[in-house]
Amino acid sequence: MNSMAISETVGRGLRRHRRAAGMSLAELATAAGVGKSTLHALELGDGNPTLSTLWALATALGIPLGELLDDRPAPTVVVRADEGARVDGASVHARLLHRLPAPGTVEVYDLAIDGKQQSSDPHLPGVRECLVVTRGGVRAGPAARPDDLAVGDSIHHDAAQPHVYQGLAPENRALLLMLYPR
C-alpha cells in the first residue's frame, strides 16, 4: 500500500473511531498528546504520521493499532449446525459458534421471521450482528450476498451495510445479538 493510500486509510479510521468513541477533535488530540491541527490533517488523509503518533492515537481511542492501518470490513462468517468446536460436561454440551469482540453494548433479541424479505438500512459504523437460527430456516446477512441458514446455523456480519432477513419455512425463529462499539 502506498503512503497516500495509508494516509487516507488512517484518516478514515481515525474519524470513524473518534466518532464512535464520542470524542471531539480537541478531546482526542489532548488524550493522545498531539496537536489538534495535526489530528485534523490526519483525519483528512493529509500528512505522514509517525508510528509513535499512531500508537498514541490508538491508545487514546482504546483500539488496536491495526484498526487505524486497515479499514477493510470484517468478513461475514457462517457456522453451520454441524460445525464449531464442541466440549462436553456432565450435563452441559457446548458448541462454540463465534468469538465476537464486544467492548461496548450487546443487545439480545428473540426473533420471529416471516416469509417476506425485510431489508434493513445500515446501522452505525462498527455495529455487528450475530444471528443463530433456532427454528425453520432464514435467509440473512449482507444484502449483496445473504446466506440461507438452517436450524443450528449462525452468521455474524458487519451491520453498517444494508442487510436482509427472510423466513424460509412456515415458522422461523432466531436469536439475534446486536453488538455496539463503545
Q: What is the pLDDT of residues 46-98, one digit of tens each?
A: 878 887 899 899 889 988 788 888 777 778 888 888 888 888 777 667 677 87
- Cα 151 to the center of its chain, rounded Å: 24
Same domain, 64 and 81: no
Mark which of 44, 69, 94 sits at the end of a domain.
69
Statement to judge: residues 141 and 101 lie in one domain: yes
Say if residue 103 is in the same domain as residue 153. yes
The boundaries of the domain holding residue 159 are 77-180
- Burial of 38 by CB count in 10 Å (0-12 exposed, 13-18 middle, 19+ buried)? middle
Going by pLDDT thresholds of 50, 70 and 90, the confidence category of residue 170 is very high
Final residue belonging to a domain, choices 69, 94, 111: 69
What is the pTM (predicted TM-score) of this model?
A: 0.58
Number of H helices, E strands in the chain: 5, 11
One domain for residues 84 and 161: yes
Whether residues 43 and 97 share a domain: the answer is no
Residue the block writes with cell 467492548: 103
Instruction: Write out pLDDT tens, residues 9-18.
Output: 899 889 988 9
Looking at the structure, do residues 12 and 30 belong to the same domain, yes or no? yes
Helices (H), 21-136: 25-32, 36-43, 51-61, 66-69
Contacts of residue 80, Cβ cutoff 8 Å, sequence gap at least 6:
150, 152, 153
